[in-house]
Amino acid sequence: MNTAPLQLQNLRKSYGALRVTDDVSLTIAPGELHAIIGPNGAGKTTLIHQISGLARPDSGSIVFDGQDVTRLRMPERARLGLVRSFQITSILPRFSALENVALAVQARSGSSFSFLGNAATERGLNDIAMALLARFGLAHRATIPAGQMSHGEKRQLEIAIALAAKPKLLLLDEPLAGTSHDESQRLINTLQELRRELPIVLIEHDMDAVFALADRVSVLVYGRIIASGTPQSIRDNADVRAAYLGEEAL
C-alpha cells in the first residue's frame, strides 16, 4: 500500500491572540491534486508556510514521505522533495530565464556552476534547464531577463524552477493570481499535465480552475477546515456556500 506523501496532524499556529491555523489535520493521497480554498484571511498561506518550513507550527506534526519534518527548515525539506512556489513570484529578475532555471538545477545537483563565470561551460546544467523551459513554452525566452517577462510567463518560469528541484510533492500558492485569461488557461493546462506526475497541494482563488483540476478540495475558514471532499461535494455543501463560495460559484 502506498504511503500518503503528506500528513498534517493537529497543526496550530498563533500570532499573539490570533490563531491562524486551528487544529488542522489533512492527508494528501499519492498522485492527488488537493486544493485548499477559503476566504482572504482564512490562514491558507500560513498553512503552506508551515508545510514548506517557512513557519514552524506551535503544535502538531508534519510527516512527508514517511519522515517527520516538523522541525526541519525549508531548505532541508526542499532537499527531501517538498518544494513550493510563492504567491508572489520569487524569480531573480536580472538573470535570464535560463539562468534562473539553471541555478535551481545547480542547487539540486551540487554542481560547481557559477553565474560569475561562463555559463556556456556548464552545458549539462543548461541542457536540463533548456528542456524545462521548452516544456513550459519558454525556450524562445531563454535569454530574456526574467524581470522583463509577462506575469503569466513568470508563473510558468517559477513552476519550471520548482521542477528543477525534482520535487516529490509540489506546493503552489495562488499560481493563477494576476494572470490574464489566456495565461490562466496555459497554466491550467500545465497543471493538468503535472498532476499526472506528482502530488500537488494547490491554494487558489480561481474556482473554475480549482473545480477543473482538483481531486479533492478542503475549505479553510478562520484557520479550521470546515469541509473536505470531491469538488462536487464541496459545491453541494451548504456550510461551504454560506461561509465562502456563495451562490454565484455554484
State the DSSP code for 96: B
- pLDDT at residue 13 in the model: 95
Return the pLDDT at 205: 87
Contact between 62 and 11 under an 8 Å Cβ cutoff? The reply is yes
What's the CATH number of domain 6-90+165-249, 3.90.79.10, 3.40.50.300, 2.30.33.40, 3.90.1150.10? 3.40.50.300
pLDDT at 181: 86
Question: For position 148, what pLDDT does the model report?
Answer: 94
- What pLDDT was estimated at residue 149? 92
Query: What pLDDT is recorded for position 6?
Result: 97
Longest dimension (CA), the chain: 60
At residue 118, the pLDDT reads: 43
Consecutive 10-residue runs of the chain (250 residues): their mean pLDDT? 86 92 94 93 91 94 96 92 72 90 79 47 79 91 92 89 91 87 88 92 91 94 93 91 61
In one-letter notation, the amino acid at residue 25 is: S
Strands 18-28 and 67-68: unpaired
| Cβ neighbours around 50 below 10 Å, total | 24
To 5 degrees, how large is the angle CA 104–CA 88–CA 56?
Answer: 80
Per-domain residue ranges of the chain: 6-90+165-249
Calculate the alpha carbon distances from 228 to 27, 119, 190, 218 in Å.
11, 47, 25, 4
pLDDT for 248 equals: 43
Q: Write down the pLDDT at residue 52.
A: 94
Distance CA 243, CA 240 (A): 5
Q: How far from 61 is each of 10, 21, 56, 149, 249, CA to CA, in Å?
A: 7, 13, 10, 39, 33
Q: What is the pLDDT of residue 246?
A: 59
> Which run of H or E residues covers position 82?
strand 82-84
